Structure 1
Amino acid sequence: MKFTRMIFVFGAALTLLLLPSYLQATQVGKAAQETDSFQGPFVSEVVTPGLSVAVRDLPLASEEPTLNKEINPRHNPLQFEPDQGQRGTWNRTDVPTDPLIRPASDNPGETPSLDLSFDGTGNPTGCGSCTPPDPSGDVGPNHYVQTVNSTKVAIYNKTGTLLTSPFSLGTLWTSGLCTSNAGDPIVLYDSLADRWLLSQFANPNHMCIAVSQTPDPMGTYFTYTFNVTQFPDYFKFGVWPDAYYMAANENTYTAYAFNRANMLIGASATFQKFTGGTNFYMPGDLDGATPPPAGAPNPFYTFKDNSFHGGTDRLEVYAFHIDWATPANTTFTLNASLPITPYTYTVCGFFNLSCIKQAGTTQRVDAVSEWPMFHFPYRNFGTHQALVGTFAVGGGLGETGSALRWFELRNTGGGWTLYQEGTHDLGDGLDRFMGSIAMDGAGNIALAYSVSNTTLNPGLRYVTRLATDPLGTFQAEAILVNGGGSQTGSNRWGDYSSLSIDPANDCTFWYTGEYYTANSTNQWKTRVGAFTIPSCTNGGTPPPTNTPGPSPTPGPTATPSQTALPTHTAVPTNTPTSTNTPTPIVSPTAQPDGRILYTIASGDTLLLIAEKFGVSINDLYAYNNITAETPLIAGQTLIIGFGMLPDGSAILAGFPHARIKPDGTIVHVVQEGDSLIGIAVIYDLTLEQLYQLSNLTVESVLSVGQEVVVGSRPQPMEIGGSTNLPEVLTSATPSLTPTATETATATITPTPATATSETIVVVTNTAVSPSPTTSPPIVTPETSFNWLIFVPVALAIIGLLALVGSLFFFLGQKR
């Protein structure tokens, strides 16, 4: 009996002691389901690129066969939940009106009219009879490039003239999976390098990326086929100095970084990847001539709400810091969690694709309100950094209730905070969805989108706001194109649209989206429109810093490190440039040492010079060791590139004593005081690598003028671009690789002027596979076992069983 009481007391005590731990553990388990649990980075295998035929030389594309189909069904990542992720969002009966909707009278300003409008690619040219079109577009100094499913690329000049027949993106690949034109295309203009990025996915689990070899999108492209191990549904890209960043919808939501520096010059490249997100991310996409602070991570964002994801309604900003040299140092971390005004997550319910009403049909179309809309534009104004984004929410005043939530974040040095937010809805019964947002060089914002209801065929509209306008408001709405019909055969609309800013003046917005000219099951059209806010002139002035409402406490921000630029002869800085009317272009002259010099004319700016000669502003910074604040002096000379020397070789940009030979071999011309170890340091080589490349030994004696092989450049290369000058190398310098006769392969990436100071050094023996410590293959992450939850739960159960057992024993003894 005494022993029984001891067991009873022990069981009761153990149960009471561990019950709080059990309850806490179950709460932790619940929170873990709603909190991103990242795994990675996973590093890809090395991918060797191909080289395409020049676009201008492609054969005319044939019209696609008429296939009435949904081109790429949106993949529901929560399809294995009992209710496929609905979580009560499909049967809501009372949706509150979004509290940020404001009357139009709060901002009586006038949105500017169109500068230009023309039809882009539509069906049947696009994909015969497929839906949706997935229209994407971007603008460069001289071109506008549009992509649609599946997958057609159209290149226009800036008057809207088509320069070549729309071609299939897959024709840039000579063979392999990427020739299949699977779709979901994205095009981006990389303003830092003056290059174009074209992309689509391929079955079963591949990403196809083409990077133009010159500033001319009509030229050749380096083509890459990456195995990403999961199908990269709905992928989206952003340009950043140290990588091309991408997000995708896979088994979880994922974030990628692709090696931009290598891809720009056609070297072998890898990517790094994180998995484990709980809502789709959108990567930051750089706009404007000023890059982010050196070493700054790329900002990704997503939005979450209290009822679906738990916690408060919020924006989450993540920092993707890439380390190409040591992938173990790469991180993807939550940088800031910013509470926002409450909103209704999804318009019609999670993955309810039959949503927005149209005129003249019962067919509804998808609002894609689960995820952020493309893009997530970033700007560096010097006084502050800015990000703008948009997504569709419920609670609008239209027939279906779709409105556009938008926001601006700012970072003045202490981390990202919410500067302003708003919900765009005019209370006119129209649903607004499929938005895209951008900011010009003066800090003005534009938002463009689709509109529809049962009395209006879907059309395209846009609004603008000045940086000085009342926070959270837009000016009067303007029409880009009225729809003449509705889509009657499919619920897939969009799946996205694209608003971008013209780098030529940093002021003109270019937008493309979907519409119909008549009712049709699937013969969609696309429209391209451009508009400019009159007060923005050559980028305008930095926007004022108004005093917004209270901002949440930001998360930690990484301290950027400075990256030294190559040393060149600097432009004198003692006298500012005159602002008089520019004089005619002065022809650049090639010097005996290979430099191409331009004589600065009165009224010149770096932007104007860059546009004249097809160079990026960042190249000019690097070539001349100057910054955006360096004044220019009329009559002085500026290095705008490096041309051919008398022997046919060229100077390697950023490396004044390196020469690229006609056969692609890269040599270092020995200078007085040079040593083998010093040369190795310059080109990020080990001594062993240098010995192998140059056939030298530790006993070798150097002589001034001797040429020491330090690598080779991929061949062949297309020379030229949009000008008649000799080739101008971008600041992202080539990876140096030895010739095929060497016994080892060394990939060395000299530090680009626009990137961080990280470099990759990979050495492999040609007789064996790459070392897994250098380029480990992607592995599928396994679900981790949470011992912190298991142990207290198990002990609590043991205590409860002991208590119950002792009770039964005690009662038995009583009988």
Structure 2
Amino acid sequence: MKKKSTSQSAFFNLRILTASVFCLLGIAVALFAQGNRTKQQAQTNRSAVAQDAPGTQTPDVVQMVGPVRTTTDVRHLPYIPNEGEIEHQPLMRHPRGHGAPPPAAPSSPYLQRLLKNIFRPTPTIPGPLLTFDGVNSAASQCGCLPPDTDGDVGPNHYVEGVNVVFKVFDKNGGTVAGPTTFNSLFAPLVGTPCSGQNAGDPFVFYDHQADKWIISDFAFPGFPGAGPFFQCIAVSETGDPTGTYVLYALQHEPAHTTWLGDYPKFAMWNDGGTQNAYFFTVNLFQGSPSVAFEGVRAYALDRASMIAGGPANAIGFTVPLAGVGDSYSFLAANFRTGDPPPTGRNEMVLAIDTPASGGVTLTQVHTRFFHVDFANPNNSTFGVGADHTPNAEITVDGFVDAFDNSFNTSLVPECLRRLFTRISAVPNRYGLVILIS
């Protein structure tokens, strides 16, 4: 057995100790540098989110007709027909072509995409539990194309809206009430186009927190035309969609009475505190003397007041052309299920660019915060500055605006699927409801 050298062992231990000290110092320096980078990065991320202070913008306190209560439930409303067949003019930010798609050459990218779709693996999506026919063309009382289908599901009912009527089904697909014209539902809103001149773009959703149904469409004498242009809104008094409703009428843009609010989209947001509202957005189009895109308008309605049958206390902002950039059809985040938004969290309204031509790869989702203050409306803010530009940009994987120039439509991009737990989205003119989990 070889005898161990004491001096050699001490020298060896000293080297280990020295190396350990330098190693620890190196780790400390690395952690310090990483901490600084993380702190700087966090500061950079925070600085990228701009927020206007309360009282620095000028919201519109929108005058509305209502609340007006219906005295007859939906099943017994008197029938009020439409004035006549409605020819709905598709309104687009950028005009796009019509007609059949051109024939593709055998080696074209179109054929390659087609072959890829044919031979791709079959998705393992489970089949539907129940299917049944909704409102058909004859029952729609309009025969309009497209039907602008929209609807929502509650605990015991499905309510569908198409063009100028809505219908209530049970969960087995049986008819409970309707089809009922919007002219019948909104008849009590006398003095507005909602009483007799309802024109379509319906929206239906079920407020699961309040156990209420919200049904809406727009109304006007004709388009193109000088208006006036109104949004008609009904809030059920109970969780039964065949019961009675509280009605409201809101002019789309009081400062510009010849502007139509097209493509209305609603959302519900409730942080458990002051940020408790129904939000909706519309695309603004001048109806006279010529048709032209003018921007986007966003509204907040006092949800707590409305579900109690009180006034809507509407607050509105118009985003002008300088503020919308190359986007339109803003979509507000819609709380549908799961945990509610944290206290103090403002509503988020998202938009993507819509290029005049296809094939452009996009990576940004424009994000605006809508801070609402119904007690002091002048403290409400939307976006940044007088033009209400985005508060922040969300960078996502690149996507291409998937519109088909042959059919005047634009599909919802894949990127939005990643932003919400559940989103209710609608392609630009085809009325197809997509629920994504």
CA distance in 2, matches of 1:368, 1:345: 7
Secondary structure of the residue aligned to 1:257 is: strand
After superposition, give the CA deviation of every residue in 1:645-680 in whole Å (9 maximum; x if it has no partner): xxxxxxxxxxxxxxxxxxxxxxxxxxxxxxxxxxxx
Q: Which amino acid aligns with 2:91?
A: H
> How does 1:104-115 map onto structure 2 within 5 Å?
110-115=124-129
Instruction: Call closer, same or farther: CA 1:97–1:43 in 2, change over 3 Å.
Output: farther
Corresponding residue of 2:180: 167
Q: Which amino acid aligns with 1:245?
A: F
Is contact 2:194-2:232 (8 Å) kept? Answer: yes
Instruction: Call closer, same or farther: CA 1:315–1:308 in 2, change over 3 Å.
Output: farther
Instruction: Call closer, same or farther: CA 1:289–1:346 in 2, change over 3 Å.
Output: closer
Q: Which amino acid aligns with 1:324?
A: F
Q: Which amino acid aligns with 1:408?
A: R
CA distance in 1, matches of 2:126, 2:395: 33
Instruction: Call closer, same or farther: CA 1:244–1:104 in 2, change over 3 Å.
Output: farther
Instruction: Call closer, same or farther: CA 1:305–1:170 in 2, change over 3 Å.
Output: closer
After superposition, give the CA deviation of every residue in 1:455-490 in whole Å (9 maximum; x if it has no partner): xxxxxxxxxxxxxxxxxxxxxxxxxxxxxxxxxxxx
Corresponding residue of 2:283: 249
Instruction: Call closer, same or farther: CA 1:147–1:108 in 2, change over 3 Å.
Output: closer
CA distance in 2, matches of 1:109, 1:123: 32
CA distance in 1, matches of 2:426, 2:380: 36
Deviation at 1:306, TM superposition (A): 7.9
Corresponding residue of 1:287: 336
Is contact 1:138-1:500 (8 Å) kept? Answer: no
Corresponding residue of 1:368: 410
Instruction: Call closer, same or farther: CA 1:495–1:306 in 2, change over 3 Å.
Output: closer
> How does 1:655-674 map onto structure 2 within 5 Å?
none
Corresponding residue of 1:73: 89
Corresponding residue of 2:252: 228
Instruction: Call closer, same or farther: CA 1:102–1:247 in 2, change over 3 Å.
Output: farther
Is contact 2:362-2:399 (8 Å) kept? Answer: no
Corresponding residue of 1:120: 134
Is contact 1:74-1:234 (8 Å) kept? Answer: no
CA distance in 2, matches of 1:75, 1:249: 9
1:498 to 428, 433, 436: 433
Corresponding residue of 2:236: 212
Deviation at 1:48, TM superposition (A): 3.0
Q: Which amino acid aligns with 1:498?
A: V
Secondary structure of the residue aligned to 2:305 is: helix
CA distance in 2, matches of 1:214, 1:140: 12
Instruction: Call closer, same or farther: CA 1:292–1:184 in 2, change over 3 Å.
Output: same
Corresponding residue of 1:198: 215
Deviation at 1:321, TM superposition (A): 1.2
Cα RMSD over matched residues? 3.9
Q: Which amino acid aligns with 2:366?
A: E
Deviation at 1:96, TM superposition (A): 9.9
Instruction: Call closer, same or farther: CA 1:338–1:221 in 2, change over 3 Å.
Output: same
CA distance in 2, matches of 1:102, 1:302: 30
Instruction: Call closer, same or farther: CA 1:308–1:259 in 2, change over 3 Å.
Output: farther
Corresponding residue of 2:154: 140
2:418 to 408, 425, 440: 408
Deviation at 1:181, TM superposition (A): 1.9
Is contact 2:231-2:251 (8 Å) kept? Answer: yes
CA distance in 2, matches of 1:98, 1:405: 23
After superposition, give the CA deviation of every residue in 1:616-661 in whole Å (9 maximum; x if it has no partner): xxxxxxxxxxxxxxxxxxxxxxxxxxxxxxxxxxxxxxxxxxxxxx
CA distance in 2, matches of 1:257, 1:337: 22
CA distance in 2, matches of 1:407, 1:95: 25
Percent identity (aligned): 30
Instruction: Call closer, same or farther: CA 1:331–1:102 in 2, change over 3 Å.
Output: farther
- Count residues in correspondence: 331
CA distance in 2, matches of 1:128, 1:312: 38
Instruction: Call closer, same or farther: CA 1:116–1:258 in 2, change over 3 Å.
Output: same
Deviation at 1:300, TM superposition (A): 1.2
1:324 to 369, 374, 381: 374
Deviation at 1:239, TM superposition (A): 1.2
Is contact 2:265-2:280 (8 Å) kept? Answer: yes
Corresponding residue of 2:194: 178
After superposition, give the CA deviation of every residue in 1:292-324 in whole Å (9 maximum; x if it has no partner): 112211111111278879996311222111111
Corresponding residue of 1:35: none
Instruction: Say whether residues 1:338 and 2:338 are aligned partners.
Output: no
CA distance in 2, matches of 1:57, 1:408: 44
After superposition, give the CA deviation of every residue in 1:568-623 in whole Å (9 maximum; x if it has no partner): xxxxxxxxxxxxxxxxxxxxxxxxxxxxxxxxxxxxxxxxxxxxxxxxxxxxxxxx
Corresponding residue of 2:269: 240
Deviation at 1:348, TM superposition (A): 3.9
Instruction: Call closer, same or farther: CA 1:236–1:219 in 2, change over 3 Å.
Output: same
Instruction: Call closer, same or farther: CA 1:152–1:244 in 2, change over 3 Å.
Output: same
Corresponding residue of 2:52: none
Deviation at 1:133, TM superposition (A): 0.6
Secondary structure of the residue aligned to 1:295 is: coil
Is contact 2:269-2:334 (8 Å) kept? Answer: yes
Secondary structure of the residue aligned to 2:240 is: coil
CA distance in 2, matches of 1:220, 1:306: 44
After superposition, give the CA deviation of every residue in 1:322-345 in whole Å (9 maximum; x if it has no partner): 111122221222343123343433
Is contact 1:304-1:313 (8 Å) kept? Answer: no
Secondary structure of the residue aligned to 1:56 is: helix
TM-score by length of 2: 0.66
Q: Which amino acid aligns with 2:90?
A: R
Secondary structure of the residue aligned to 2:375 is: coil
Corresponding residue of 1:297: 346
1:266 to 290, 309, 312: 309
CA distance in 1, matches of 2:77, 2:311: 25
Unaligned runs of 5+ in 1: 1-37, 79-83, 350-354, 356-364, 370-389, 392-403, 411-437, 440-444, 451-492, 502-508, 510-815
Instruction: Call closer, same or farther: CA 1:122–1:320 in 2, change over 3 Å.
Output: same
Deviation at 1:184, TM superposition (A): 0.7
Secondary structure of the residue aligned to 2:175 is: coil
CA distance in 1, matches of 2:332, 2:57: 18
Secondary structure of the residue aligned to 1:226 is: strand
Is contact 2:283-2:295 (8 Å) kept? Answer: yes
Instruction: Call closer, same or farther: CA 1:221–1:285 in 2, change over 3 Å.
Output: same
Corresponding residue of 1:610: none
Corresponding residue of 2:73: 54
Unaligned runs of 5+ in 2: 1-55, 221-227, 254-258, 271-275, 285-293, 384-389
Is contact 1:170-1:181 (8 Å) kept? Answer: yes
CA distance in 2, matches of 1:258, 1:195: 15
Q: Which amino acid aligns with 1:496?
A: G
CA distance in 2, matches of 1:270, 1:500: 30
Is contact 2:199-2:218 (8 Å) kept? Answer: yes
Instruction: Call closer, same or farther: CA 1:130–1:409 in 2, change over 3 Å.
Output: closer
CA distance in 1, matches of 2:308, 2:426: 36
CA distance in 2, matches of 1:102, 1:331: 47
Q: Which amino acid aligns with 1:135?
A: T
